[in-house]
Structure 1
Amino acid sequence: MAPDRNTIEAFVKLGKYLTDFCDKCYSNVLEVDQNLKEVVARAGHHNGWFTEDNILFSLRQWGELLTTENLNNWLSGYTFLEKGEAKTVGIVMAGNIPLVGFHDFLCVLLSGNKVLVKLSSNDKVLLPYLCSYLIQQEPSLADKIEFVDGKLENFDAVIATGSNNTSRYFEYYFGKKPNIIRKNRSSVAVLTGNESEEELKALGEDIFRYYGLGCRNVSKIYVPKDYDFDGLFNALFHYKDIINQHKYANNYDYNKAVYLMSEFKILDNGFLILKEDESLTSPISALFYSYYDDESTLRKKLQEMEEQIQCVVSSDAKENEVNFGDTQKPSLNDYADGIDTMEFLLKL
Structure 2
Amino acid sequence: MTPIQDRIAAFNKLGIFLSQFSTKKIEKKAPIEHNDLFFDGFKHQLKLAQENNAWFTKENILFALESWSKALTNSNLEKWISKNDVHTKTSKKVAIVMAGNIPLVGFHDFLSVLISGHTLLVKQSSNDKHLLPFLAKYLEYVEGSFKGKITFTEQKLENFDAVIATGSDNTARYFEYYFKNKPNIIRKSRNSVAVLKGNESEEELQKLSDDVFTYFGLGCRSVSKLYVPKEYDFNHFFNGIYVKKDMINNAKYANNYDYNKAVYLMSEFDLLENGFLMIKEDESYSSPIATVFYEYYDNEIDLKIKLHKEREKIQCIVAKDFIENEVAFGETQNPQLWDYADGINTLEFLSKI
Asked if these proteins are the same fold (TM beyond 0.5), I'd say: yes
- Secondary structure of the residue that 1:20 maps to in structure 2? coil
2:223 paired residue among 218, 225, 243: 218
- Give the deviation of 1:91 after TM superposition: 0.0
Does structure 2 retain, via aligned residues, the 8 Å contact 1:3–1:110?
Answer: no
Paired residues for 1:183-202 under 5 Å: 183-202=188-207
Give the letter aligned to residue 13 of structure 1. Answer: K
Amino acid at match of 1:26: K
SS of residue paired to 1:310:
strand
* Gap runs ≥5 in structure 2: 30-34
CA distance in 1, matches of 2:87, 2:214: 39
Going from structure 1 to structure 2, the CA distance change for 1:60 and 1:178 (only over 3 Å counts) comes to: same
Q: Give TM-score, length-normalised by structure 2.
A: 0.95
Q: Could you tell me the percent identity over the aligned residues?
A: 59
Q: Give the distance between the partners of 1:26 and 1:98, measured in 2 at CA.
A: 18
Q: Give SS of 1:4's match.
A: helix
When structure 1 is superposed on structure 2, of 316-325 and 124-133 the one drifting more is 316-325
Which residue in 2 is equivalent to 1:15? Answer: 15
| Residue correspondence of structure 1 range 53-92 to structure 2 within 5 A | 53-81=59-87, 83-84=89-90, 86-92=91-97
In the alignment, what sits opposite 2:120?
115
Contact 1:96 1:122 in 2 (8 A): yes
Gaps of 5+ in 1: none
1:41-190 aligned within 5 A: 41-81=47-87, 83-84=89-90, 86-190=91-195
Deviation for aligned residue 1:34: 2.5
Q: Structure 2: how far apart are the matches of 1:322 and 1:14? A: 28
Does the 8 Å contact 1:200/1:235 carry over to 2? yes
| 1:202 alignment partner AA | K
Does residue 1:264 correspond to 2:264, yes or no? no
TM-score (norm 1): 0.96
Q: CA deviation at 1:27?
A: 4.0
Task: Kindly indicate whether residue 287 of structure 2 is the aligned counterpart of residue 287 of structure 1.
Answer: no
* Aligned CA distance change for structure 1 residues 9 and 127 (closer, same or farther; 3 Å): same
Q: Deviations over 1:320-348 (max 9, x none)?
A: 21011111111001111111111000011
Shift of the 80–39 alpha-carbon distance from structure 1 to 2, 3 Å rule, reads closer
How large is the Cα RMSD of the aligned pairs? 1.6
**In the alignment, residue 253 of structure 1 is paired with which amino acid?**
D
Which residue of structure 2 aligns with residue 297 of structure 1?
302
1:35 to 41, 64, 71: 41
Which residue in the other structure is 1:26 paired with?
A: 24
Separation of aligned partners in 1, 2:159 and 2:184: 14
Amino acid at match of 2:41: N
Residue 316 of structure 1: how far off its partner (Å) = 2.5
Whether the aligned pair in 2 keeps the contact of 1:3 and 1:111 (CA below 8 Å) is: no
Alpha-carbon deviations, 1:3-62, whole Å to 9, x = none? 62211111000001111332xx61465879432221111100011100000000000010
Q: Could you say if the C-alpha distance between residues 186 and 82 of structure 1 is closer, same or farther in structure 2, counting changes exceeding 3 Å?
A: closer
Deviations 1:256-304 (A, max 9, x none): 0011011111001000001011111100000000011101210111011
Between the aligned partners of 2:322 and 2:300, the Cα distance in structure 1 is 13
3-state SS of 1:271 partner:
coil
State the alpha-carbon separation in 1 of the partners of residues 86 and 220 from structure 2.
Answer: 30
Contact 1:314 1:323 in 2 (8 A): yes
Q: Matched residue pairs, number?
A: 345
